[in-house]
Amino acid sequence: MMIRQSLWTAMITPMQQDGSIDYNSFEQILRKQEEAGNGVLVLGSTGEGLNLNDEEKKAVIKFTVDLDLKIPVMAGIGGFDLETQKEFIRFCDTHGVDALLLVTPLYAKPGKYGQYEWFKSLMELTQTPCMLYNVPSRTGVKMHPTVPAMLSKEFSNLLGVKEASGSVEEFKAFREAAPEVDLYSGDDGMTPAFAKEGAVGLVSVASNVWPKATHRYVEMCLGGETSGLFPVWKEATDSLFKAPNPTPAKVLIRQKDWISHETVRPPLALEDVTDELREELGRSEQSIANWFSNHQQ
Residues 16-60 pLDDT 10s:
999 999 999 999 999 999 999 999 999 999 999 999 999 999 999
Across 256-275, b (16+ Cβ under 10 Å) vs e yields: eebbebbbbeeebeeeebee
DSSP letters along the chain, please? -----SEEEE----B-TTS-B-HHHHHHHHHHHHHHT-EEEESSTTTTGGGS-HHHHHHHHHHHHHTT-SS-EEEEE-SS-HHHHHHHHHHHHHTT-SEEEEEPPSSS---HHHHHHHHHHHHTT--S-EEEEE-HHHHSSPPPTHHHHHHHTT-TTEEEEEE-SS-HHHHHHHHHH-TTS-EEES-GGGHHHHHHTT--EEEESHHHH-HHHHHHHHHHHHTT--TTTTTHHHHHHHHTTSSSTTHHHHHHHHHTTSSS-----TT--GGGS-HHHHHHHHHHHHHHHHHHHHH--
112 is catalytic: no
Please report the domains of the chain, with CATH numbers, ordered by start residue.
Answer: 7-225 (3.20.20.70)
CA angle (47, 230, 222) in 5-degree steps:
65
Burial class (CB in 10 A: 0-12, 13-18, 19+), 83: exposed
- Catalytic option among 133, 184, 217, 250: 133
Q: Give backbone dihedrals phi and psi of 130, rounded to 5 degrees, phi first.
A: -120, 130
* pLDDT for 1: 59
Looking at the predicted structure, is the pLDDT value of residue 105 above 90?
no
Band of the pLDDT at 136, cuts 50, 70, 90? confident
Mean pLDDT in residue range 58-71: 98
Q: What percent of the chain has pLDDT over 90?
A: 89
* Contact yes or no for 206/235 (Cβ under 8 A): no
Mean pLDDT of the chain, nearest integer: 95
Band of the pLDDT at 140, cuts 50, 70, 90? confident
pLDDT in tens, 160-202: 999 998 899 999 999 999 999 999 999 999 999 999 999 999 9
- Catalytic option among 32, 57, 162, 250: 162
Looking at the predicted structure, is the pLDDT value of residue 73 above 90?
yes
Rounded distance, CA 103 to CA 44, Å? Answer: 9
Rounded distance, CA 108 to CA 117, Å? Answer: 14
Band of the pLDDT at 296, cuts 50, 70, 90? confident
196 is catalytic: no
C-alpha distances out from residue 107 to 87, 110, 227, 232, Å: 20, 9, 41, 35
Range of weakest confidence among 134-138, 257-261, 286-290:
134-138
Looking at the predicted structure, is the pLDDT value of residue 264 above 80?
yes
Mean pLDDT in residue range 138-151: 92
**Four-residue CA torsion sign, 277, 283, 289, 290:** negative
Please name which of 217, 211, 214, 155 lies closest in space to residue 181, comparing C-alpha atoms. 155
Band of the pLDDT at 238, cuts 50, 70, 90? very high
